Amino acid sequence: MAENYCFGTLAVGQRYRKHAQVLAEDIQQHAPGVWLIVLTDRPADFASYPQVRPVRHRLQSVKGYHDKRFVVAKALETFETCIFLDADVRIIGAVPETMEFLPGITARHGCGILKHNTRKNRDSKALPLIRDTAHRLNLDLQDVPWLHEFMFAFTRQADLSQDFFDAWEEIANFFQSKGIYGGEGNVMGLAAEKVGISFRLKSHDWFPLFKDNIEKERIKNGQSSPTVKKAYFEEHREIEYPKRTLLGKVVHKLQSKTSYRYRLL
């Protein structure tokens, strides 16, 4: 088994567990010998996947986005590097047998936090809070990065890893107290700059993959066509929008709202 890196994902809820099961099958096919760390509410759902290490987890952040830090922290207990993937990412081709990453964060896609939050001449809703946070932390926003959080690698960096996770939690809680529950790429950038975690971009595909919104952007830019990944789009939709009875839909909606309100409180 390769021990220098692993994959990691968060799979809480039926939809995300199903996505993660498909991802586990992809890894078994295209990256034999590489572990997938899955933080999930139902570890038993992954008992039949030999390369998966399921860890029982209950969501801590309001909408779950900031729980990604628990995945990476758990993975780093054993591995030098964790490549985090959203559960609905597909690996569709061979993964290199070895991949080396420098200490800190390596992002598949990213830019400066100001550039990201002022695109198309429109400021994001989070920008005032980002400015306030940077002021409180004595950070120059020109130096703060942003990353697309669907895929990134985190490699241990001296003794700063735990400081980074602590800062991520602190800043995330502040954002959530102000009603901003997502945008973990912003929070990660602020946390990295606060504690001195290195940040770099590795913007080419590290291995063949599919992510629905990334592929849609490629199609929009003329870099792909709607038919190339049609089967992956269809399978993604089947998982995202499963067929349910009317009662099933009502129960699912009530459960989701109850869990959300509980975490919000």
Q: Is the pLDDT of residue 162 over 50?
A: yes
pLDDT of residue 124: 86
pLDDT of residue 46: 98
Cβ burial of 194 (10 Å; 0-12, 13-18, 19+) is buried
Report the Cα 46 to chain-centroid distance in Å: 19
pLDDT band at 97 (very low <50, low <70, confident <90, very high): confident
Helix axes 184-195, 127-137, angle to 10 degrees: 10
**Residue reference for tokens 């269809």:** 234
Q: Is the pLDDT of residue 208 over 70?
A: yes
State how far the Cα of 162 lies from the Cα of 160, in Å rounded to an integer. Answer: 6
pLDDT of residue 228: 86
pLDDT of residue 87: 97
What average pLDDT does range 165-190 have in this prediction? 96
Q: Is the pLDDT of residue 263 over 80?
A: no
pLDDT of residue 39: 98
Q: What is the pTM of this model?
A: 0.88
Helix (H, G, I), strand (E, B) or coil at 78: coil
pLDDT band at 246 (very low <50, low <70, confident <90, very high): low
